[in-house]
Amino acid sequence: MSEIPAELRYRTSHEWVRVEDDVAVVGITDHAQDAMGDLVYVELPEVGQVLATGEEAGVVESVKAASDIYAPVSGEIVAVNDALEDEPELVNNEPYGNGWLFKIKMADSGELKEMLTADQYQEQLDSE
Amino acid sequence: MSNETKLIFQHSRPGRGANAQAPKPVSEDQLSAIPASLRRKQKPGLPEVSELDVVRHYTNLSSKNFAIDKQFYPLGSCTMKYNPRGANRAAMLPGFLARHPLAPASHSQGYLACLYDLQNFLKEVTGMKGVSLAPMAGAQGEFAGVAMIRAYHDARNDDGRTEILIPEAAHGTNPATAVMCGYKVREVPVGKDGDVDLEALKQACGPQTAGLMMTNPSTCGVFERQIEAIAKTVHDAGGLLYYDGANLNAILGKVRPGDMGFDVIHMNLHKTFATPHGGGGPGAGPVGVSQRLLPYLPTPMAGLDEDSGEYSWIDTDTLPTSIGHLSAFMGNAGVLLRAYFYAMVLGREGMIRVGEYSTLAANYLLKRLQQVGYTAAYPERRASHEFILTLAKEAKELNVTAMDVAKRLLDYNQHAPTTYFPLLVPECLLIEPTETESKEAMDDFIAAMEAILHEAKTDPDMVKEAPFTQPVRRLDDVKAARELDLTWSE
Kindly list the domain boundaries of chain B, sorted by start residue: 8-63, 85-345, 351-480
Contact B420 A64 (CB under 8 A): yes
Minimal-distance CA residue of chain A relative to B419? A64
DSSP state, residue B51: H
The residues, ordered by sequence, that sit 6+ positions from A82 with a Cβ below 8 Å of its Cβ are none
Contact A64 B482 (CB under 8 A): no
| Mean pLDDT on A16-41 | 94
- What confidence score (pLDDT) does residue B158 get? 96
A–B interface: beta-carbon pairs under 8 A:
20
Residue A13 resides in a domain:
yes
What is the CATH T-level fold of the domain B351-480, as seen in this structure? Aspartate Aminotransferase, domain 1 (3.90.1150)
Q: Which of B420, B423, B481 sits opposite A40 (nearest CB)?
A: B481
Report whether pLDDT(A117) > 90: yes
The H helix count followed by the E strand count for chain A is: 3, 9
Q: Does A35 touch chain B (CB under 8 A)?
A: yes
- What confidence score (pLDDT) does residue B1 get? 43
- What does the angle CA B68 – CA B272 – CA B190 come to, to the nearest 5 degrees? 105
Q: Where are the beta strands (DSSP E) in B27-161?
A: 130-132
Contact A64 B426 (CB under 8 A): no
Kindly list the residues from chain A whose CB atom is less than 8 angstroms away from the CB atom of residue B403.
Answer: 64
Kindly list the residues from chain A whose CB atom is less than 8 angstroms away from the CB atom of residue B419.
Answer: 64
Q: Does A56 touch chain B (CB under 8 A)?
A: no
Residue A117 resides in a domain:
no
Best of A14, A63, A85 to mutate (most B CBs within 10 Å, chain B): A63
What are the pLDDT tens digits along chain B (490 aa)?
A: 455 678 999 999 999 998 888 888 888 888 888 998 998 888 888 899 999 999 999 999 888 888 888 999 999 989 999 999 999 999 999 999 999 999 999 999 999 999 999 999 999 999 999 999 999 999 999 999 999 999 999 999 999 999 999 998 888 899 999 999 999 999 999 998 889 999 999 999 999 999 999 999 998 889 999 999 999 999 999 999 999 999 999 999 899 999 999 999 999 999 999 998 866 568 899 999 999 999 999 999 999 999 999 999 999 999 999 999 999 988 999 999 999 999 999 999 999 999 999 999 999 999 999 999 999 999 999 999 999 999 999 999 999 999 999 999 999 999 999 999 888 888 999 999 999 999 999 999 999 999 999 999 999 999 999 999 998 899 998 999 888 888 888 7
CA distance A107 to chain B (A): 24
Q: What residues are paired with A27 via a beta bridge? A: A16
Q: Which CATH number is associated with domain B85-345?
A: 3.40.640.10
Residue A50 resides in a domain:
yes
Minimal-distance CA residue of chain B relative to A65? B423
Report whether pLDDT(A73) > 70: yes
Q: Does A88 touch chain B (CB under 8 A)?
A: yes
Q: Which residue, B282, B312, B287, B310, is CA-closest to B298?
A: B287
CA distance A2 to chain B (A): 13
Kindly list the residues from chain B whose CB atom is less than 8 angstroms away from the CB atom of residue A88.
Answer: 482
φ and ψ at residue B93, rounded to 5 degrees: -60, 140
User: Under DSSP, is residue B166 helix (H, G, I), strand (E, B) or coil?
Assistant: strand
Q: What residues are paired with B188 via a beta bridge? A: B167
Q: Does A14 touch chain B (CB under 8 A)?
A: no
Residue A115 resides in a domain:
no
Q: Does A107 touch chain B (CB under 8 A)?
A: no
Q: What residues are paired with A17 via a beta bridge? A: A9, A26
Contact A38 B426 (CB under 8 A): no
Give chain A's domain count. Answer: 1
Residue A112 resides in a domain:
no
Question: Is residue B127 within 8 Å of residue B349, measured between CB atoms?
Answer: no
Containing structural domain, residue A87: 9-107
Q: Do domains B85-345 and B351-480 have the same CATH topology?
A: no
Contact A65 B423 (CB under 8 A): yes
Contact A63 B426 (CB under 8 A): no
ipTM, 2 dp: 0.78
Q: How far apart are CA B166 and CA B164, in angstroms?
A: 6
Q: What is the CATH number of the domain that holds A87?
A: 2.40.50.100
Question: Is residue B220 within 8 Å of residue B207, measured between CB atoms?
Answer: no
- What confidence score (pLDDT) does residue B279 get? 60
Contact B419 A67 (CB under 8 A): no
Residue A113 resides in a domain:
no
Q: Where are the beta strands (DSSP E) in chain A?
A: 9-10, 15-20, 23-28, 39-43, 50-51, 56-62, 66-70, 75-80, 102-106
Kindly list the residues from chain B whose CB atom is less than 8 angstroms away from the CB atom of residue A89.
Answer: 482
- What confidence score (pLDDT) does residue B67 get? 87
- What confidence score (pLDDT) does residue B28 get? 84
Q: What residues are paired with A80 via a beta bridge? A: A102
Query: For chain A, what is the radius of gyration of the CA atoms?
Result: 13
The CA distances from residue B34 to B24, B28, B157, B345, in Å, are 18, 10, 50, 53
Q: Does A66 touch chain B (CB under 8 A)?
A: yes
Of all helices (H) and strands (E), which one includes residue B435?
none
Please state the separation of Cα B431 from the chain's center in Å.
15
User: Under DSSP, is residue A59 helix (H, G, I), strand (E, B) or coil?
Assistant: strand
